Amino acid sequence: MGADCSDSTTPASACAGGIEALDGATGRTIWRSRLEQRPMAVSCEADLNKDGLPDCLVGGRGGLLSAHDAATGARLWRSLVTRGRKAYFTAQPIGDVDDDGVPDFVQTRGGGGDDLDELPPKGELLLLSGATGAETAWQYVPDRRPVHLPPQIVRLADNGRGSDDGSRRILFSTGGDFEDGDRQGGALYLLRLKTFLLSGEAAKTAPVISGVSHKGPLGGPATLADLNSDSRPELILPLLNGSVMAADVTHLFGSQRRVRSTVWRADLPGSVKGAEVRWALAPGFFSQDRVPDFFVQYCVGPGYPVYRSQRFVVLDGSTGRVIKELPPAEAAVGIAGSLGSPLTVSFEGVGQDLFLHWRLDCRRRRTSGAAKWLPCWRRFNANSAAQLLLVGQHIPASGVTVYDERAENDSSSDRPLATTGTLAPPVNRNSHGNDGSSSIDAVFAVASTADDPASQEQTCLDSYLSRSADRFNRASKSHGMSARRYRAMAMRRCSQKFNKIYSTHNINSDRFASKFKQLVVYRRRITCHCNRRARVSNRKCLRILPYSEQRWTAYMGNRADGYLRNAP
């Protein structure tokens, strides 16, 4: 079953990350589960142990795929696939296909892994049992290119029964890599789910989009939203050539896909000089109609990791034209994997939604800790700083600040990390107040430089190191350990003893010898106040929708599947 990361004799290199459940009211840790590799995706959408509660699937680097009881964090199963250490992404539930009473999943793997056995890694499409994690079927993707995005289930029609009648497709993309050197492109595919379930066949699937970029077509997952009121979703695709395309999925799959599939295509400002959209889009109702619009954040430059700026625009969902362009951010090198995708704060009616997004700017002050390869250092001898902002129709272009790394004194890092986060119901307050106000909470995590070890921690470590000769004593639990492994064990024990979060990204992450990162989780209240003049005149105030009616609350939407929900 691999290394047990809770065992203090396990080397640090075996515990590269973990997942935690936090009390929403206090932030207190409810449970913590350490993992052998770095997690990249967590989705909690299906009950896997039949206890009536949704459980969590975790995908990540180095072949990490495991299921966890959401109530306790206990591991229900882990993937035993032995075809290399390719990364897993966000699994997509497809209902119970093996009649064991537990939902099953479609998943992709390939690329983005550690210690890969093949370069470039060949992407895979898998069908997994939700009860055991066993592979029911798997195939290499048709072009055998890397895969760096999760699959998505596209419904061409809703039969109302949740069963497969042939109308569901698996959408998956190949290419899009910026780590393992693949420069031979990729493609976008739509495979009939029923075909894959019955035969496991994927190799003969023809691409529906190819030739977009030498890195592949998509830089982020597709968004699915109805743009023409026909009750069928269109695909809105963030492309690696600096454009966004809306496609009719029915025509895209049919025989006339090359003629009639494109609803619109938007070349983003600055893309003529090279640009990449490497984030998910955020749909929302920004203009005064019932067609969703789209917030796009992207980078301008020749390609990862060399970018000149980070840009932000809102696209009209009917035409694809730019209806709002925000000031660009000047610190853009290397941020493609560091900042989260945008979210949407939904209001009553149309035309009032706000977008919540991250941007990276220079601190504009001198600092000795700046990395010399960053543009902020080259311009100002300064580090970069992350901000989380709200923007909308009636908000200045600079936005309303929800979080500012400079004010919080977090990080001062050369490469900030900020998660997409999620919206949540307001804690200890009704969504709508008696004074006409309305609220919702935003929960997110940012990287912060850890504090130096306390004197008690250092004393603890010194005590362990003074007994390092135990490594040569056959009666000792540390017998046979290398010096590095013994030190890692000592660091973890001392960190746990004093209730510190110990990062074990790799065995060299030594908080007793050098600075490293820890994650700080924030919960911030977003409140829309009704001014006194409006209350006195009995005018209706705009209200933030309750959490249950929000439209895009997390990465890939409310259910991590890319679908826009709760349209007005």
Mean pLDDT of the chain: 80
Crossing angle of the two packed helices 455-465 and 483-497, in degrees rounded to 10: 150
Where would I find the H helices in 156-241? 193-199
The DSSP bridge pattern shows strands 275-276 and 262-267 to be unpaired
DSSP designation for 450: P
* Mean pLDDT in residue range 304-313: 81
Is the Cβ–Cβ distance between 404 and 416 less than 8 Å? no
CA distances from 300 to 181, 268, 315, 524, 532 (A): 20, 10, 17, 31, 44
3-state secondary structure of 131: coil
Question: Distance between CA 476 and CA 9 in Å, rounded?
Answer: 11
* Confidence at residue 503, expressed as pLDDT on a 0 to 100 scale: 40
User: Rg of the Cα trace of the chain?
Assistant: 24
Question: Distance between CA 511 and CA 479 in Å, rounded?
Answer: 24
Sheet with 354-362, side-by-side order of all strands:
343-345, 354-362, 384-391, 400-404
* Confidence at residue 156, expressed as pLDDT on a 0 to 100 scale: 78
- Which residue has better confidence, 167 or 70? 70
**In this model, does residue 256 exceed pLDDT 70?**
no
Q: Which domains are delineated in the chain?
A: 17-213 (no CATH), 219-424+533-568 (2.40.128.630), 455-497 (no CATH)
* Confidence at residue 159, expressed as pLDDT on a 0 to 100 scale: 46
How many residues can be counted in the chain?
568
Q: Identity (one letter) of the amino acid at 82?
A: T
Question: Distance between CA 25 and CA 392 in Å, rounded?
Answer: 29
Question: Distance between CA 309 and CA 327 in Å, rounded?
Answer: 10
* Confidence at residue 374, expressed as pLDDT on a 0 to 100 scale: 53
Sign of CA dihedral 213, 108, 86, 447: positive
**Counting Cβ atoms within 10 Å, is residue 451 exposed (0-12), middle (13-18) or buried (19+)?**
exposed
Retrieve residue 403's tokens: 């979080």
The pTM of this model reads 0.81
Query: pLDDT digit string (tens) for 330-386?
Result: 765 555 556 889 999 999 988 999 999 998 876 655 544 444 445 565 555 666 778
Query: pLDDT digit string (tens) for 480-524?
Result: 887 767 877 887 787 676 654 444 333 333 444 444 457 789 999
- In 241-257, which positions are buried (b, 16+ CB within 10 angstroms) versus exposed (e)? bbbbbbbbbbbbbeeeb
Residue-wise DSSP of 44-107: EEE-SSSSSS-EEEEEEGGGEEEEE-TTT--EEEE----S----B---EEEE-SSSSSS-EEEE
Query: pLDDT digit string (tens) for 395-451?
Result: 888 899 999 887 665 544 445 567 889 999 998 776 666 566 799 999 998 876 555
State residue 283 phi and psi, 5-degree precision.
-85, 145
* Confidence at residue 532, expressed as pLDDT on a 0 to 100 scale: 63
Of 69-83, 175-189, 232-246, 517-531, least confident by mean pLDDT is: 175-189
* Confidence at residue 329, expressed as pLDDT on a 0 to 100 scale: 84
Residue 495: closest CA among 4, 3, 15: 15
Measured at the CA of 260, the angle between CA 259 and CA 262, to 5 degrees, comes to: 105
Question: Distance between CA 238 and CA 220 in Å, rounded?
Answer: 6
Query: pLDDT digit string (tens) for 11-46?
Result: 444 456 789 999 999 999 999 998 888 888 999 999
